[in-house]
Amino acid sequence: MRIDVVSIFPEYLAPLELSLIGKARQDGLLDLNVHDLRDFTTDRHRTVDDTPYGGGAGMVMKPEPWAQALTAIAEVGPKAPGTEAVRKPVLIVPSPAGERFSQAIAHELAEEEQLVFACGRYEGIDERVLEWAAEHFTVRPMSLGDYVLNGGEVAVLAMVEAVGRLLPGVVGNPESLVEESHSDGLLEYPVYTKPSSWRDREVPAVLLSGNHGKIAQWRRHEQYRRTAERRPDLLDVFDAGKLPRADRTAFGELGYDVVDGRLRRRPDA
């Protein structure tokens, strides 16, 4: 996969040289390029922002440097020169006004050949850039969550890490991706390591039993308990149609009934 990131603070993306993503780059699994938006300006001051039409506080990112940067990137796709790219690259524009980023979207993006991230600053990027870019890219404004950051770089660090670790070969043991939080619409169960007794706290006995069936059931039920406690919204869309009886009982104890394949919280629970 090829990833291009455009920012006025390219040094903000330095952590992408570290850890698993850094190693994936060294191993040639990920071709990641960071571009300075100011390199695509033409004035002496390398200006990237101007006052907003209609008035109001803050500055807006000028469209032309973005068009120059994105055109240059679109011309150097992941395909060899002379061959047709199968799909348009995806242009991800971090924005608190975007679609909410999720594990499901990370999986979708991990299938792409090229991702381009456009890091906004100030009040954001002139909206016409997104319209213009749709000719060359599949444009996806993307929010990390319902809060406001100073710029898109932190959101890009999170999204590149979430997508990058799904690429084949990046995480040493691909099994570890299977049982993670959000992979099956639930939060992950609690995890423990040695020693089994630590500061008067014991690891749950079932995990020391060697009974793999019981361990798997305990972990599933812990997922239900933790999700009900911390993220009940995830249970609203959880497919409970095929749950075995023991799991329905576990949900029953948490105050949920299964109705038409969906979990319904009992009013008295």
Residues in touch with ligand SAM (CB under 6 A) = 94-97, 119-121, 123-124, 143-145, 147-152, 155
CA pair distance 139, 99, nearest whole angstrom = 11
8 A C-beta contact, residue 118 and residue 89: no
Provide the minimum distance between the beta carbon of 120 and ligand SAM in the complex, in angstroms, as a whole number: 3
Q: Which is nearer to ligand SAM, 119 or 166 (CB)?
A: 119
Rounded to an integer, what distance in angstroms lies between the CA atom of residue 267 and that of residue 248?
A: 17
Q: 117 vs 218, which CB is nearer to ligand SAM?
A: 117
Residue 72 or residue 158: which is nearer to ligand SAM going by CB? 158
Contacts of 252 (CB under 8 A, 6+ apart): none
Say how far apart CA 248 and CA 263 lie, in whole Å. Answer: 9
How far is CA 40 from each of CA 43, 60, 107, 122, 167, rounded to the nearest angstrom? Answer: 10, 16, 32, 18, 31
Residue closer to ligand SAM, measured from CB, 90 or 228: 90
- What are φ and ψ of residue 148, in 5° steps? -115, 125
CA distance 218 to 104: 25
Compute the least distance from the CB of residue 185 to ligand SAM, in Å. Answer: 23
The H or E element spanning position 220 is: helix 212-230
As measured in angstroms, the least distance from the Cβ of 99 to ligand SAM is 10
Do residues 119 and 153 touch, judged by C-beta distance below 8 A?
A: yes
Short-list 8, 133, 121, CA closest to 61: 121
Q: How far is the CB of 92 from ligand SAM (least distance, A)?
A: 9
Please give the angle made by the CA atoms of 33, 23 and 194, to the nearest 5 degrees: 140
CB of 29 to ligand SAM, least distance (A): 25
Judged by beta carbon, residue 86 or residue 148, the one nearer ligand SAM is 148
Nearer to ligand SAM, 60 or 254 (CB): 60
Smallest gap from residue 121 Cβ to ligand SAM (A): 6
Minimum distance from CB of 65 to ligand SAM (Å)?
15
Cβ nearer to ligand SAM, comparing 7 with 227: 7
Q: Find where tokens 């993006």 sit.
A: 109
Number of residue whose CB is nearest ligand SAM: 120
Q: How far apart (Å, rounded) are the C-alpha atoms in residues 89 and 69?
A: 14
